[in-house]
Chains A and B, each alone.
Chain A
Amino acid sequence: MIWLAWRRQRFLLFSAVGASIVLVVWMMLVAHWYQDASQALAHGGCLVGSVRCQNLYDAGTSASTQATVIAGVLFAAPCLVGIVLGAPLVAAEIERRTNRLVWTQSISRIRWLIVKWALVAVAVVALVSVFQLVAQWWTGQVAFRGLENSQTPTSGTIRIQRSIFGITGVVPVAYSLFALVLGTALGAVLRRTTWAVLATVAGYAAAAWLMLTWVRQHLAATVFFPYPTSQNAQALSTPGPVGWPLGFGYRVIAGKEQLLGGSSPDAIVRHCQTSGSDLYQCTTAHGLQLGEFYQPGSHYWTLQWTEAGIYVAAAIALLGVTIWAVRRWRA
C-alpha cells in the first residue's frame, strides 16, 4: 500500500519540494538585496540626495515589498497544502471512481486511507519543519510591512507579533497538518474536489481568523503595561511595552477600590473621557490605572506550543471524521 500511496502522490510531493526550493531561493535573494541596500545606506555609502542614494533606497524598498509578498505566501502556504494535497486525497478517487478499484483489492479501505494520508502527512511535516527554519533565519534578515525596523526580529519581542508569529516556530507545522486533514475530511464528506477546495479555503481562513482575533491572545496570561501617571521626565523615558500589543485597558489600583464609589470601571472611564477634565487625573482619582495589555516576547514559546496543540487536536478530530466518512461511504 505504501508503494501505491507513493506512486500516486509522488508527482505532487516532488512539485511541493520544487516549489519550496524556488521560494527559498527567492527568499535568499530578497534577503541579500535588502541587506546590501540597508548596509550601504547605514554606512553612508552615498551622498544624501544623490542618484546612488535614491537607487539604494529604491532597491531596499523593492526588496521590502517582495518580502511582504513572500510573508503572505508563507502565511497562505499551509492552506495550499490543504487544497493541493488534502482535498483531492479522497475526493479525487471517489470522483474518478478509482476508490472502487482500490477498495476491492485485498486491503481494507481504512488501511488504504491511513497509509495514503500518513505518507503525505510525514512528507508535509518534514518539508514544513525545514522550511520553518529557513523562515526563522529569513525574518531576521529583512524588514517587511507590519514590522518596526528599530526592533531586532529575532529578539523574541517582535516574532510574537502577528506578521511573524504564524510563519516561524512550530505553528506552521501544526497549521499544515491541520489544513491537510481539513482538506482530506472535507473531500471525504463532500466527495467533490472543487467543493472540498472551496470549503478548505473557507474553513482554514475561518480557523485562522478565529485564532488570530479571539483565541491566541488568551493562550497565555496577558501582561498589563501601566501608563505613567505623572508627567515627569523619568516616567516619559520609560520604554513602552515590547511584544504584541493588545490594546488600551485599565486596572483597578490595589487598595483603592473604595474610590470607584460603586460605579463600574467602564462607566468611570466613559465618564472621564466625556467630562473634559484630564483623563489620567480623572481615572487615577477614581482608583483606575490606565495602560495597555500585551503579550511579551517571553511568551513566544508558550503561545507557539499551545496554539500548535490546539491545531493538532483539531487535526486529530478531523482525521476521525475522515475515517468515519470513508467507512460509511457507499461507493
Chain B
Amino acid sequence: MANSLAEHLENLRETRLWRSIFRSGSGSTNLHRALAVQQNVFLHLASVKMRKQSLAFRVSWFLGTVSLGGFLLLVATGIPLMLYYHPSVPQAYADMKDLRFVVSAGLFLRNLHRWSAHAMVLLVFAHMCKVFYRGAYRPPREFNWVVGVVLLILTLLLSYTGYLLPWDQLAFWAITVGSNIMSSVPLLGARMRFLMLGGNTVNANALLRFYVLHCVILPLFAVMFIAIHFWRIRKDGGLHSGEELEP
C-alpha cells in the first residue's frame, strides 16, 4: 500500500497542474530540494539549508516554534469564538456564558483559547530568556532581538485586549486599572487613555475598540512581525548554534 501511495504521489508530481503550482518538480537532488524551499512562500522564510547541530533540542528547546504553535492555536480557536461573540455591552457577557454552557464544544474552545493565551505569554518569555542566556541576541542577530521584543509587546497587548472581552467584573476593573496606569504617562497620558477607551470610562466604545484591536489590528501586526522574525533568522545566517558560543 505504501509503495503504491508513493507511486501515486510521484505521478501526481508530474501532472501539469502540480507543476504549474510547484515549479520545482520532483527529484531529490540538492538543487530540487533547494528550489522546493525557495519557491514556497511559507518555506522561503526559512533557510534552504541549515546546520543539523542548530536543530538539536538543547540549542533552542524549540521554544520559538512552540510559541508559533501557540499563536496558530489561538488563531484557530479565536476565529470560531468570534462566531458566537457580539462585542456589545448588553450581549458580551451573555455570549461568553453561552459559549461556556450552551454552545456545543464552546467550553472547550474558550478554555483552549484562554489557556493557550496564558501559555503563549509564558513561552514567549521563556524563549526570550533562552535566547538571552545562549547569547543568541548578539551580532549579527541584534535586530532580530528587537523584532522579538516587539513580538513580546504584541503578545502582551493581545493578552490585555482579550482580557476585557468577557466583560465581567474582573475584565472591567483590570482594564480600568490598566488604562489608569496609562494615564500616568507625562503630558500625553490622559489623552492616550481617552483615545484607547474611546471615552472617559471603560464602556461600549472601549469594548468595541479592544475587540477590533484584539481580533484585527494586533493579529495583523503579529503576523507581519512573525514573518520578519523568521525571515531574519535566514538573513542572519540560521539559528544560533552552540559552536558559536565559544569565542
- Whether A associates with B in a native complex is no
Interface of A toward B, CB cutoff 8 Å: none
Interface of B toward A, CB cutoff 8 Å: none
